[in-house]
Chains A and B, each alone.
Chain A
Amino acid sequence: MSSSLKDKLQSMFNNVQVSVLEETRMAVSVPPGSAFAVLRYLRDSGFDHLALVSCVDWQEEGEIEVVYILTSYMENNTEYAPEQKLHLFLKTKVQRDKPELKSVIDIFQNAEPYEREIHELFGVHFEGHPRLIPLFLEREYKIPPFRKDFDTRKYVKDTFDSIPLVED
């Protein structure tokens, strides 16, 4: 099943690289412009469970990689066919100085808090997202905290250790 899916993807979209990591895990790399269309095609072919939207910061190559992990729920309520155990990692790489991507809320409704979190922790801007306001953090940081060049120990030393004790 995975080989037929691989052929279909490569025939329908350009610049798609598919690699099979193991029997139930497949990685698909697409350019950022076609991530939305590939995701919609995959949702229509049966992958209806968006498990995770994750983000990896490759500092040396100057790119931020957004990963969508897709799998499927059961088709009938009692049996799970072996083809349905496949997991797809859909990966796109965007430029680190100006990371922008189209939001996928129209396809998967539960992507909304994931994209908000990636926006505040990595700095990626999602177009079409209704509320891109901070989810967890309360303060402003010059560099988004989860990037590799944010040194958290130095930040702690500068901000928290410099506050004096209250003498009695």
Chain B
Amino acid sequence: MPQITEIAKTGSQRELEMYFGPQHLGMVGNFSITLKVEGDRILKATANPGYLHRGFEKLMEYRTWIQNFPIVCRINLVEPDHMEMIYAMGVEKLAGIEVPERADYVRSIYLELARVGSHLFGLWAYANMLGFDTVAQWAMYHRDLVLDLFEELTGGRVYHIYIWPGGVRRDFPKGFKDKIVKTLHSIGGCVPDYDDTFFNNRLFYDRAHGIGKLSQEQAKSLGAVGQVLRATGMKYDIRRVEPYAAYDKVPWDVPTREDGDAYSRIWVVRDEMIESVHMIFKLLDAMPEGSVYNRIPNPFKWKIPPGEAYVRCESSRGELGLYMVSNGEDKPYRVHFRTPSYSHGLTILEKVLESESVADVGNIMISLYVVAPEIDR
């Protein structure tokens, strides 16, 4: 519940300071915003992160390179797979390890499935916020079908720990390709229902059009990446700009929109989900045979030569980067994650919330696709 802490009467205006705090029905994740409000209009917004800070980067300096894999996937809990991928990419770059070709395809399919699951989670949160509860239940159910696939492949529903430096942990089990195709067909067959109920709905347009508008110049100067930037018209996608894994081997498209408001951002999410599903079918057809990992010598006593590296990949929220420094030991010297929710949730949120209405705060926050643990790490 918002707590009203001070009421100031200055002239003919009346200002209130409200906490849109962590225990709130409109907040997804443990994050809080302090709003300075005049009537229904927001004058100033301040983000208060820090409820989820664990000091990850310090903890990772106390564990060896291999022991960091189970802990690194817990930074972003909605989509832990890109965290494993970026850490493995950084380690492979510093140590000079090559990845076999089949492993590239397996990694791409795995990451695209994770992207579909993460977008469905975002759709649950957003549809709940706007009041479309039916669509929220459908999205969560379809995400559970995707998590069933992950459970068969890796053994865990949420945290998988499947990517290993030099490839992936194990190959697809027998009959897995047919299961993927069947699940994706059952999800894809419901897209007309989603469109009729939510995306083409006049109410969605009324509630989200023009809210949280961001022009391309503003987005570039505030450090926006991901859907926030693609909804303003720029085709900036790391899978196209600096291809990794098997993304340059199949043809696919980067969806964009022109307006830059909440409506465009959610439409970009929907288009990306459909593009990911098509990409998985193409990758499954083009996948070669072979082994899925290259052995690393003695992983428990493994030292990496000194150096530094900056690698990046495209998570479902934007550009995810990792700056890694090694000084020749068996533990990392400095690890720093550049997460997309950092600039979205701290700089852009405060800018976009000025002169918006209090009723739209949850709407804007979820359309900016912020995940709170990514900010605090």
Contact = CB atoms under 8 A, between A and B. Distances in A.
Interface in B219-260: 220-223, 233-236, 240-242, 256
B310 A146 contact: no
Nearest to A57: B334
B223 A49 contact: yes
- Chain A contact residues: helix, strand, loop or mixed: mixed
B319 A77 contact: no
B173 interface: no
A100 interface: no
A110 B310 contact: no
A48 B220 contact: yes
Contact of A49 (B58, B220, B233, B240): B220
A69 interface: yes
A109 B333 contact: no
B347 A113 contact: yes
Contacts of A77: 233-235, 256
B49 interface: yes
- Chain B contact residues: helix, strand, loop or mixed: mixed
Interface residues of A, number: 39
A67 B325 CA distance: 11
Contacts of A56: 325, 333-334
A155 to B, nearest CB: 10
Contacts of A37: none
Interface stretch (B132-140, B145-153, B335-343): B335-343
A54 B323 contact: yes
Interface residues of B, number: 38
Nearest to A79: B235
Interface string B314-333: 00000101010100000001
A89 B308 contact: yes
A152 B342 contact: no
A143 interface: no
Interface string A48-64: 11111011110000000
B156 interface: no
B346 interface: yes
Contacts of B343: 110, 113
Given A74-B236, A109-B347, A113-B346, A54 B336 contact: yes
A157 interface: no
24 contacts: A25-B310, A27-B308, A48-B220, A51-B312, A52-B321, A52-B323, A52-B336, A54-B334, A67-B323, A73-B236, A77-B235, A89-B308, A109-B221, A110-B221, A113-B342, A113-B347, A134-B50, A136-B50, A145-B55, A145-B58, A146-B57, A150-B58, A152-B55, A152-B62
Closest 7 CB pairs of A and B: A110-B223, A136-B50, A136-B53, A52-B338, A113-B346, A54-B336, A77-B234
Interface of A: 21, 24-25, 27, 48-52, 54-57, 67, 69, 73-74, 77-78, 80, 85, 87, 89, 108-110, 112-114, 134-138, 145-146, 150, 152-153
